[in-house]
Chain A
């Protein structure tokens, strides 16, 4: 629990608290895993949280911002501002190693490379690990994913695109 009464707000504890808020569309990932939580600062009674959007039009960002507010309100903070920061632009490079593993276990192939060369992606089927795969659509169920099919086990799967 975050200390509310004391005048000094522990931003490290807030990072932990907000880091555990989940992505509304991929609930196995936390904001920490995604790397969208950029900064938390305190100005008087106000907590200012800075997040970076994954995709410009991603509707999940609105939900994330609301969830951040809820988490802080429940922890006793009344004045919360969630700010968006565009630069530096979010990249899948910021996704944590544990986040990538959680994605795979969830059935979504994690971003294949860390240096983003979309042409050289080596993507593996999250079900069987086979890398003989075929793209079905460059855009899957959300902007951040593409749709593939495994040529070995024949299962279709989402791939979290490298951006």
Chain B
């Protein structure tokens, strides 16, 4: 690969790691708060998969960078403006319907994204993607099932999950907009052209929503900024909790 692309590649790995670690942390907040025991276990297991995914991406970024930073430094010692996750990952969990609607939207996206990334010219990214796809397949099976159960369930569950999709819809466009730097990596066969995934994503999501008796939201607002480090007010609180230990006791180890 072209050496000039290396900084962009490092940024790319960190941004993908940020998506994973932030959602992984959000899901971990459900630990002991799940609606019932099995669901508590499922949410935390999915959380672990995302945190593991982030570790692989951060380790790879740290290795490429070769500046002595570790995966932990990347996770714990950067502030909001340095985080590059897409905004949808950082939104507070809301109720269970909101968490599952968000999860479903991300699982459909991740399946498509990592399937494409398996073709990356960068072998480590392709290897991480191959693992991620296997896990996301299971995540999607579960979240899709929940959307159908909640949507086609009781009046209350239907209303709640419909409200969740309505609230989340404005964050969808950002998932498919490509930055200039990313375009360079796409041209080099390293990164995934996310804009090309949008149509299939809508088709897949709307098919499940239809079966779940849910309506496609007609929200016309849209927001973005995560990949540029411009976040919602929620990320700061999340990082304050996630990073507390390393900020208070620098270098502390298990």
Contacts and interface: CB of A to CB of B under 8 A. Distances in A.
What class of interface size applies to chain B in its complex with A?
20 to 34
A19 interface: no
A89 B38 contact: no
A21 to B, nearest CB: 21
Interface residues of A, number: 25
Name the prevailing secondary structure of the B interface residues: helix
A55 B134 CA distance: 9
Nearest to B37: A137
Contact of B38 (A58, A59, A90, A136): A136
A15 interface: no
Contacts of B52: 53, 55-58
Contact of A86 (B49, B51, B127, B141): B127
By CB atoms of chain A within 10 A, which of B46, B50, B52, B142 has the most?
B52
A86 B39 contact: no
Interface stretch (A42-50, A73-81, A139-147): A139-147
B175 interface: no
Contacts of B55: 56-57
A120 interface: no
Contact of B41 (A57, A59, A89, A141): A141
Nearest to B57: A56
Interface in B85-131: 123-124, 126-128, 130-131
Contacts of A55: 48-49, 52, 135
Contact of B51 (A57, A139, A140): A57
A132 to B, nearest CB: 20
A138 interface: yes
Interface of B: 24, 38-39, 41-42, 45-53, 55-56, 123-124, 126-128, 130-132, 134-135, 137-138, 141-142, 145
Given A86-B128, A137-B39, A161-B138, 6 more contacts: A55-B135, A86-B56, A86-B131, A88-B130, A138-B141, A147-B38
Interface of A: 53, 55-59, 86-91, 116, 118, 136-143, 147, 161, 163
21 contacts: A53-B131, A55-B48, A56-B52, A56-B132, A57-B47, A57-B49, A57-B55, A87-B126, A88-B130, A89-B134, A90-B131, A116-B134, A118-B141, A136-B38, A137-B41, A137-B42, A138-B138, A138-B142, A139-B41, A143-B49, A163-B138
